[in-house]
Amino acid sequence: MTAPLRSVLHVVVAGEVGGAERMLCDLAAPVEGGRDHAVALLTSSDRLRGLFSGAGLDVVDGGPAREDPVSFLRRSLGRRELTWLRDVVRRRDRPVVHLHTFGSQVLGTRAALLERTEIVRTEHSTRVYDDPSCWPFARWSLARADRVVCISEHVRAVAVGRAPSIAARARVVYNGIATDRFAPLPPPPPSPRLRLALVGRLEPRKGVDVAIDALRLLPDVELRVVGDGEDRARLERRARDLGGRVTFLGYADDVRDTLAWCDALVVSSRKEGLGIAAIEAMASARPVVSVPRDALPEIVRDGERGWLAHGTGPGALARVIADARDAGPDERARRGAAAAAYVRESLSVEAMRAGYEAVYRELDEGAA
């Protein structure tokens, strides 16, 4: 007898829009005949609220959530938000509680344990494993999760290496994107310059400074940067001497116009759990030119779906950008087409949903 489909309550405590939040829009969207999903949200970001409501998600809004350490401790260890979240869980008749952000981990785990329901954690990056201020809280939650879903083999290796006891409970489900929305684009019109796009939050982990410094070695390359963050002013100053070849476009809900403009996407991250921006570019038939960090070699197959540098600094990145430039438009189109085919086959929203549904089914059957 097939176990009934329980609902899923995603817990998000966050102050910004990133890859995890965008992925959740696709995972939790209503699907006919599918499992019911809801989002318990604590945020100070109207942009994040708008993202979820615009995606048609069932959102239970718990109000604003400050991001400073004292507020984190009060929220994680106190009673107020715990009482609210327990009530949300109780009204949904023992849903699977799915945790997506560091801010949600202790709070969501406490509520799920008290309401005697199962916990899924998605590891969207390795940040909690690298940051000693995060790790004690993340470790406590991790030990109590029924399933730990990692968005890449790299993230799983880091998680299991740091917490070997989770190995049997750890699964890999790659993030997927909507391939009807991000469909192959026609090649851009000819240009005397190679046109690169970079999409991501402007913070040190994304390594935008590495891409800017690489352009100093390549006078016939220009770059458009889509994203915002605390490093924007510093990065704009850093690019000031490049004669207008670097343009900062700010945050954008839709990056398809920039992908249509560019010849390739560049990824220069210092840390990258998987890379939603890279997957969106690949689905759009734009090859990726990338440093070989973390999970990026899992999706950017050098020589097939893009170009991988042989190092992580500006010089190594500049050399591989030059390779993409010198390969010419036909070779870039060939690798872009191969990238789009790979995303349709392996990194679609449907593939991601199927992966998570298998995880939820395991818990349904265990609870039956």
Q: What is the pLDDT of residue 348?
A: 95
pLDDT surpassing 90 at residue 69: no
Closest CA to 324 of 336, 337, 341, 311: 336
pLDDT for res 245 = 97
Task: Give the model's confidence band at 253: pLDDT under 50 very low, under 70 low, under 90 confident, else very high.
Answer: confident
Assess whether pLDDT exceeds 90 at residue 346: yes
**Do residues 224 and 331 touch, judged by C-beta distance below 8 A?**
no
Is residue 172 within 8 A of residue 156, CB to CB? The reply is yes
pLDDT on residue 2: 54
Mean pLDDT of the chain: 93
Percent of the chain with pLDDT over 90: 83
Query: pLDDT tens digit string along 91-131?
Result: 998 899 999 999 999 999 999 999 999 999 999 999 999 99
Rounded to 10 deg, the angle between the 80-90 and 69-77 helix axes is 50
Angstrom distance (rounded) from CA 8 to CA 39: 8
Q: What is the arithmetic mean of pLDDT over 46-56?
A: 90
Does the pLDDT of residue 368 top 70, yes or no?
Answer: no
State how far the alpha carbon of 230 is from the alpha carbons of 201, 206, 227, 233, in Å.
9, 12, 11, 8
Contact 43, 65 (CB under 8 A): yes
Mean of the pLDDT values across residues 298-317? 95
Contact 35, 5 (CB under 8 A): yes
Sign of CA dihedral 321, 323, 325, 329: negative
Averaged pLDDT for residues 254-276: 94
- Distance, in Å, from the CA atom of 15 to the CA atom of 101, rounded to the nearest integer, reads 10
Rg (CA), the chain: 21
Of 311, 228, 233, 299, the residue nearest 268 (C-alpha): 311
Distance CA 70, CA 74 (A): 6
SS3 at position 362: helix
| 151/259 Cα distance (integer angstroms) | 24
Who contacts 50 (Cβ-Cβ below 8 Å, separation ≥6)? none
Residue 3: the pLDDT is: 53
Reading phi first (left if > 0) and then psi (alpha if -120 to 50, else beta), residue 273 is in: alpha
Residue 4: pLDDT above 70? no
DSSP letters for 137-203:
HHHHHHHH-SEEEESSHHHHHHHHHH-GGGGGGEEE----B-TTTS-PPPPPPP-SSEEEEEES-SS
Question: pLDDT tens, 172-200?
Answer: 999 999 999 999 999 999 999 999 999 99
What is the percent of the chain with per-residue pLDDT over 70, rounded to a whole number? Answer: 98
Question: pLDDT tens digit string along 270-285?
Answer: 988 888 899 999 999 9
Q: Would you state the pLDDT for residue 340?
A: 97
Q: What is the pLDDT of residue 38?
A: 96
Nearest CA to 199 among 307, 308, 275, 309? Answer: 275
Q: Give me the pLDDT at residue 36, please.
A: 94
Q: Could you tell me the domains of the chain?
A: 8-176+348-367 (3.40.50.2000), 194-346 (3.40.50.2000)
Residue 155 has pLDDT above 80, yes or no: yes
CA distance 329 to 21: 34
pLDDT of res. 180 = 92
pLDDT at 66 over 90: no
Q: Which of 91, 68, 99, 117 is nearest to 367 (CA)?
A: 117
The answer on pLDDT for 68 being more than 90 is no
| pLDDT computed for residue 1 by the predictor | 45
Say how far apart CA 299 and CA 281 lie, in whole Å.
Answer: 12
What mean pLDDT do residues 204-213 have? 96
Residue 215 vs residue 22, higher pLDDT: 215
> Which residues in the chain belong to E strands, given as ranges?
8-13, 37-42, 59-61, 96-99, 119-123, 147-150, 170-172, 194-199, 221-226, 246-250, 264-267, 288-290, 306-308
As a whole number of angstroms, the distance between CA 269 and CA 198 comes to 10
